[in-house]
Structure 1
Amino acid sequence: MIAQEHKRGELLIAWAQGALLLIWSALYALAPRALPSQAFESVPWTLAAYGAFIIVRLILIYQNRLADWHVALSIIVDIGVLMLLIWSFHLQYGQPPAFYLKAPTLLYVFIFIALRTLSFEARWVLLAGAVSAAGWSALLLYAIVAQSDNPPVTHDYVHYMNSSSILLGAEFDKIVSILMVTAVLALALRRTQQLVLRCVVDHAAANELSRFVARGLAQRIARAEAPIEPGQAELRSAAALVIDLRDFTRISRRLTPREVMQLLGEYQRRVIPLVQRSGGFIDKFLGDGILASFGAVIVNETYAADALRAVDAIASELETWRATRIEAGLVAPSFGLAVSTGDVLFGAVGDSTRLEYTIIGDAVNFGARLEKHSKIERVTAVTDSATFELARSQGYASTERWRFRLGREIAGVDYPVDLAVLIEEAGRSSNGPRLSVAATV
């Protein structure tokens, strides 16, 4: 990526050089001349050679063959051509050499210096400024030496402005301006590089962080303007989804550590994308259990419907996964899912040395109890009827695998609960009425 951006920068510089060449050619063609018509004119040849140099440079850029020394040579050639054009003014207009020192064409050096910021390397800006200052110093020295028999140097500003004399202070001002602009641009470029580097590092850190926490949460942490403190929380209406492999502790004792991790990896690789695809966020991994939330990290109006859509997709995927493992003669644990909804606190818990974003509230605890109760009901997934009806009102279209089971006793809950349960494909004869879109409790 860096190489591509460097190439784009050099291309922009090359095309800008081409544009300047066209401008200079047009100005030279329109400018009056004091030279005899048969006199040799160096400017057209210089511009032609500069055009050929630009073409060669473009070819090298497109072929990815532009080396550092090519860039340095290009800077020297740019400034050299400009200084040669300025030097030629006293010949073109039949004036003493000091005449060209007043040419406004010197301002083009600032264009050449600024162009080098497109390469995003301060060293090329510094080189362009140094070459420009040296070039103008050389022209100044030539103007003084060329008229040694009649020194053109003056200290009278009015005389300087109305003659071809040289005011050393004015020329030093030009050189200082070139060097100061160069230093400012190089410093600004350097600071920009540091800022971009910090942004890249922060972006990479956020991407890396999103592997450990939900992407939306990672962005929230990365963009926080103030340090995140434990106890900061927001009240949200959300859904909690609890997923668990049944009898995993007993099963893991029969497997090697490698086999245990492979089993967990297969299971999690199937579940996580389905949660995310349904708009949910993984809150935490609890061994073989997974806690996911909908509507907590990012507020949405269909959190219950999204959670049940995730249940449908996960149940179907894990049933296929179990069948595949059974066919291959591998351990295939059953699973349970539960969804509950309500007001939850979403925020940071822990202390200043170790923080964790999570959801807290009765809905989470109730979801955990429902998941455990799914074993008693011998079903794939379970939710309370209120959550089911809320999901329907949010656009969830239930399948025929969902059934009502009324007045169930749930461990840890001191009142009977009406449930909606998702039965396995092989268990469609389970007791309880089927749920249709118009069903009511």
Structure 2
Amino acid sequence: MVSRELSPARTWRLPRRIFARDVERLRLPQRVRAAIQTQEDRTERLIGWLQLGIVLLFGTLYAISPKTAPHSMQIQPVPIALGIYLTLTLVRIAWAYAGRLPNWAVALSSVVDMALLMALIWWFHIQYSQPPSFYLKAPTLLYVFIFISLRALRFDARFVVWSGLVAAVGWLLMVAYVIYADPHDSMITRNYVEYLTSNSILIGAEFDKIISILVVSIVLGVALTRGRNLLVRSVSEGMAAQELSRFFAPQIAQRIKGAEQAIEAGSAEVCDAAILNLDLRGFTRLAETESPQAVLALLGEYQALVVPIVQAHGGSIDKYLGDGIMASFGATQQSAAYAAEALAALEAVIAEAERWRGEREAAGRPAPRVNGAVATGPVLFGAVGTDKRLEITVIGDAVNLSAKLEKHNKRVGSLALATAEAYELACSQGFERRPAHRPLPGEAVAGVGQPVDLVQLS
């Protein structure tokens, strides 16, 4: 099967027999085609259950309704037809659940449906001892539209048009049989009143039925073609959005999705937030001595360990900076306890990272420490970049200070730092003040012009 996309230079080489739908399948990525096929498989099961509901409904109505056929008839066609239809429907449902229903089976089921219906209608003239033209008046013909509409559930115009063609050909054969059974054309009339009040045949009326079946099938086919295009686009865009959302924090993805207007570069809002920066200590030196595979494996473990903890405390991952992780609290989603959440997340990360480090040391693998820092203050939360490439981020003094404090951990021999301002704010928001939290007043932090009051959390 061809899986690569068709380039403009190669498209003209396609055989003329390939349908547009086949070209669509060639152009779509495999995962999108698989998602559409899954929807079609579910639809086939739905159609099977609807058919079962229809046959049970008709069977119930037949059982409770007064019988109009002569009691002397030994063969009752309706129970026979319903029994066959019920059996085939159960087989169809079992097949749909056991595996993918092939296209030939779907097309054949339409032929069987119409054949059963036409056979039932044909039997009416024998059942009621009337000439063959009698069954042309049967309102049971309207059931063909039920079978055609069932095929519309699949969003595949081919099967709808096929069902309509089968029904039209079937009725044409029924009309031809009536004419053949009356070689002298004594039943054919041009009088509409006579046609309605007797067993006479009005050829134009029968062609009206056939044309109606074909027109309804074609209209449904056109509608389904448009609907299928929307389905393909919806599935493609939905999967693309799902994949792209992995590149954003869940809160940011939700805000982008729910934005009233298109997000443009420079659009931003000011909010109070806590910024958390995390880093693997000594990672640069480790990356120089370990293999790329080992380095990437370490980063994968570290990020898989840290990110869920941050998110569980309400944090939003802003960006990955190599071995660094920057998260915000209260920026992407408002929170009355953003500072407390940030400090609680920092302590939880450090505790879990120390456990992880112990496991790696016991296994004889490189075991760097994780350190982090929190700063709070007003930040700008918004989009930066160009119309072609945007990035949602936070900007402000708290962002820069948090990054500098993370590096300051090494200087003071700590793993987790916070500004005294962030610490006091967090305590007022419910963070637990403990004796192990050590004040560090007047710290000279590299890159900061004036001393900063800090609190060492670990």
Q: Name the TM-score, length of structure 2 as normaliser.
A: 0.80
Is the contact between residue 47 and residue 150 of structure 2 (CA under 8 Å) also seen in structure 1?
no
> Is the counterpart of residue 274 in structure 1 residue 274 in structure 2?
no
Q: What is the rounded CA distance, in whole Å, between the counterparts of 2:254 and 2:231 in structure 1?
A: 18
Q: What is the rounded CA distance, in whole Å, between the counterparts of 1:238 and 1:58 in structure 2?
A: 56
2:431 to 392, 396, 406: 396
* CA 1:204–1:70: 2 relative to 1, 3 Å: closer
Paired AA for residue 135 in structure 1: G
Deviation at 1:225, TM superposition (A): 7.2
Could you list the per-position Cα deviations for residues 315-362 of structure 1 after superposition, in whole angstroms to 9, with x for gaps in the alignment?
112222333444455544344311112222222211233322111112
Deviation at 1:177, TM superposition (A): 1.9
1:406 aligned partner: 441
- Matched position secondary structure for 2:233: helix
Deviation at 1:48, TM superposition (A): 4.1
Q: What is the rounded CA distance, in whole Å, between the counterparts of 1:219 and 1:141 in structure 2?
A: 63
Is the contact between residue 264 and residue 383 of structure 2 (CA under 8 Å) also seen in structure 1?
yes
* CA 1:344–1:152: 2 relative to 1, 3 Å: farther
1:104 to 133, 136, 139: 139
> Is the counterpart of residue 16 in structure 1 residue 64 in structure 2?
no
Q: What's the RMSD between the two structures over aligned residues?
A: 3.1
- Matched position secondary structure for 2:328: strand
- Matched position secondary structure for 1:30: coil
Deviation at 1:313, TM superposition (A): 1.0
Is the contact between residue 379 and residue 394 of structure 2 (CA under 8 Å) also seen in structure 1?
yes
Between 1:41-50 and 1:211-220, the stretch displaced more is 41-50
Is the contact between residue 45 and residue 93 of structure 2 (CA under 8 Å) also seen in structure 1?
no
* CA 1:204–1:326: 2 relative to 1, 3 Å: same
Is the contact between residue 318 and residue 327 of structure 2 (CA under 8 Å) also seen in structure 1?
yes
* CA 1:65–1:247: 2 relative to 1, 3 Å: closer
Could you list the per-position Cα deviations for residues 23-74 of structure 1 after superposition, in whole angstroms to 9, with x for gaps in the alignment?
57438x72323x5726655555444444444444455445448554443333
> Is the counterpart of residue 314 in structure 1 residue 349 in structure 2?
yes
Query: What pairs with 1:27-426 in structure 2 (closer than 5 Å)?
Result: 30-33=66-69, 35=70, 37=72, 42-61=77-96, 63-64=98-99, 67-221=102-256, 228-423=263-458
Is the contact between residue 240 and residue 340 of structure 1 (CA under 8 Å) also seen in structure 2?
yes
Deviation at 1:312, TM superposition (A): 0.9
* CA 1:209–1:126: 2 relative to 1, 3 Å: same
* CA 1:70–1:414: 2 relative to 1, 3 Å: closer
**Structure 1 unaligned blocks of 5 or more:** 424-441
Paired AA for residue 306 in structure 1: E
Deviation at 1:309, TM superposition (A): 1.5
Paired AA for residue 239 in structure 2: A
Between 1:412-421 and 1:106-115, the stretch displaced more is 412-421
Q: What is the rounded CA distance, in whole Å, between the counterparts of 2:133 and 2:99 in structure 1?
A: 43
- Matched position secondary structure for 2:188: coil
- Matched position secondary structure for 1:239: strand
* CA 1:121–1:400: 2 relative to 1, 3 Å: farther
Q: What is the rounded CA distance, in whole Å, between the counterparts of 2:82 and 2:363 in structure 1?
A: 77
Paired AA for residue 48 in structure 2: L
Deviation at 1:301, TM superposition (A): 2.7
Deviation at 1:174, TM superposition (A): 1.9
Q: What is the rounded CA distance, in whole Å, between the counterparts of 2:265 and 2:47 in structure 1?
A: 49
Paired AA for residue 124 in structure 1: F
- Report the number of matched residues: 421
- Matched position secondary structure for 2:358: helix
Paired AA for residue 112 in structure 1: F
Is the contact between residue 375 and residue 399 of structure 2 (CA under 8 Å) also seen in structure 1?
yes
* CA 1:89–1:225: 2 relative to 1, 3 Å: farther
Is the contact between residue 282 and residue 291 of structure 1 (CA under 8 Å) also seen in structure 2?
yes
- Matched position secondary structure for 1:363: helix
Is the contact between residue 10 and residue 61 of structure 1 (CA under 8 Å) also seen in structure 2?
no
Q: What is the rounded CA distance, in whole Å, between the counterparts of 2:230 and 2:181 in structure 1?
A: 49
Paired AA for residue 361 in structure 1: G
* CA 1:109–1:353: 2 relative to 1, 3 Å: same
Between 1:10-19 and 1:277-286, the stretch displaced more is 10-19
- Matched position secondary structure for 1:353: coil
Between 1:125-134 and 1:249-258, the stretch displaced more is 249-258
Is the contact between residue 55 and residue 82 of structure 2 (CA under 8 Å) also seen in structure 1?
no
**Structure 2 unaligned blocks of 5 or more:** 1-37
* CA 1:399–1:330: 2 relative to 1, 3 Å: farther
